[in-house]
Structure formats: structure tokens, C-alpha cells
Structure 1
Amino acid sequence: MSPENKPQQMKPLTAANKLGIYLPAAPEEFQAASISRTELDALRKEPPQWLVDLQENGPFPKDVIARKLGVSIAGLARAEITGALTESEIDKLLHEQPEWLVRERRTQDEVRAEAARVKAKDEARRAATNRPQKQR
């Protein structure tokens, strides 16, 4: 006989990260309990209203804020954005385009362009290495 399989449990912070929500804004019962993969899948499949509201309006964790603003998490830190922001606060920043946001978005664009350049160079090098040698 094999031992009974116990469902894998995750901490509330891990589940919140997987759902893209800011844990302190979640209901107390979510914050206090371990969540199984089955429960997480159920929350994704049929989210309760509190989860829908958090995913649409926030407050959001730093990784979601950074993605919505088009900057890095380090860029948020340089701008001294350390707390969670709501959708309306993010929209306000996008509308106002403060100097730090313009600078960080430009930096992020440069980083992405450099990453694409390096990837293309590596792919070209691999393609050249994998070509059959011509016989003389």
C-alpha cells in the first residue's frame, strides 16, 4: 500500500502572487490559510467577487504595477514607489507622465532592445554553427 497523497499546499503570499493580487488587501480568511493547488485552480476558474475586484482595481503588488507602467521593479524603487497602487493611481501616473516615468520607460525600452539584439546575435551564431560544412 502506498501512503495517501496529500494535496500540495502553498502559503497565502505564494497564492496571492500567482493570482496577481496584493496579499494585505485580500480577506483575512485568505491571508490566514494555506491554499492547495486545487483551491487555487478553483479561484482562477470561478473567482469570488473580492478577487475580481482586486484583480481589476487593485491595490496591486509591485510586479503588476511595474508591468502596467512599462517599467522595472527597480525603476519603481528608484522613483520611491514602495507601496501598492490602485488602478486609478496607475491611470493617473500614465496620464500625467511624470519625468521619472518617462525616464524609466525609456530605460526599459533600451534594456528590451539590447536583450533582443543579444538574442538575435546568439541565434545567428547558433545557426552558423549548425550549418553543414561545404566540402572542397
Structure 2
Amino acid sequence: MTSRKTSQTMKPATAAKKLGVYLQAAPAEFQEGVISRDELNALQADPPEWLRELRRNGPHPRPVVAAKLGVSISGLARGGITEPLTTEQINELKDANPDWLRRERETQAEVRRENARLKDQGSE
């Protein structure tokens, strides 16, 4: 008795998260369909123009915005950033370097240092 292997599928929101793009900015056919693991792998291996454009210019989801700014997602919220941002808006924020962004970057750097210290301490 041979079992047939079924293709694993995911919701568009999950696929968008894995691709690092903002779902509402993706084409309607992507937002409304179900994505198989094979389709996701194909999108990652050879991204279509719409995916390259979204990754390049946005709008970007909050985790991507946070990473590009070097802060946590919570730090974005504390800074009043609750909406997706484009690459241009992110660059403008970096150039302006407001007080909240400097504070959040310092906090993030502290967290990284502490995590590294704990990791070193744990390996001794």
C-alpha cells in the first residue's frame, strides 16, 4: 500500500511572512489563493517582478521595517510607527535620526551585548 504524498499548503498571510513582504501590497491572486510549499520555494528561488519590487521598495511589514532600522518591533511601536513603511520612508527616518530612533537603537545594542555576554557565560 503506497500512500500518496500531498503537497503542504499555507495561507497567503503565512507565505507573505515567509517571503518578508506586506500581504496587502501583494497582487490579488497571491492574496486570495492558497500557496503550496513548492510554489513558495519557486517564489523564493526565482522571484517574479512584483516580489522583487516589493522587497526593494515596500511597503514593508513591521518586522522588516524594524530590522532595517536596527530596532525591535516594540521599539517601532514606542516610536509611533504602526503602519508599514516604504524603503524611501525608512531612509528618511534613518537620515532624520529622531530621538526615539537613537534610544531604540541603543536599547537594541544593549540587548545584543547582554545576549552575547550570556551566551559566552553559558559556554564556559
Settle same-fold status: TM greater than 0.5: yes
Shift of 1:55: 0.6
Q: Partners of 2:50 and 2:74 in 1: how far apart?
A: 29
How far apart, in 2, do the equivalents of 1:95 and 1:76 lie?
Answer: 16
For the pair shown, which has the larger CA radius of gyration, 1 or 2?
1
Task: Normalising by structure 1, report the TM-score.
Answer: 0.89
What does residue 7 of structure 1 align with?
7
* Local SS of the residue matching 1:7: coil
Partner of 2:115: 115
In the aligned structure 1, how far is the partner of 2:47 from the partner of 2:88? 22
The equivalent residue for 2:87 is: 87
CA apart distance, 1:80:
1.6
Cα drift, residue 25 of structure 1: 0.2
> Which whole-Å deviations, capped at 9, do the CAs of 1:11-35 have from their partners, x for residues lacking one?
1011001111000000010001110
Counterparts of 2:34 and 2:3 in 1: how far apart (Å)?
Answer: 22
* Cα deviation, residue 10, structure 1: 0.6
Q: Which residue of 2 aligns with 1:51?
A: 51
SS of alignment partner, residue 71 of structure 2: coil
Q: 1:116 is aligned with what amino acid?
A: A
TM-score (structure 2 length as normaliser):
0.97
Q: Which moved more, 1:41-50 or 1:55-64?
A: 41-50
Match of 2:76 in 1: 76
What displacement does 1:44 show?
1.2
1:3, distance to aligned residue in structure 2 (A): 3.2
Say which SS state the counterpart of residue 119 (structure 2) adopts: helix
Distance 2:52 2:97 in 1: 28
Q: 1:68-124: CA deviations, max 9, x gaps?
A: 000000101111211100000000000110010000000000111111111111111
Structure 1 residue 2: deviation in Å?
Answer: 2.6
Give me the identity figure in percent: 55
CA distance in 2, matches of 1:115, 1:51: 34
Structure 1 segment 56-71 matched on structure 2, within 5 A: 56-71=56-71
- Superposed CA deviations along residues 9-66 of structure 1, whole A, max 9, x for unmatched, are 0110110011110000000100011101100111112211110100100000010000
Where in structure 2 are there 5+ consecutive unaligned residues? none
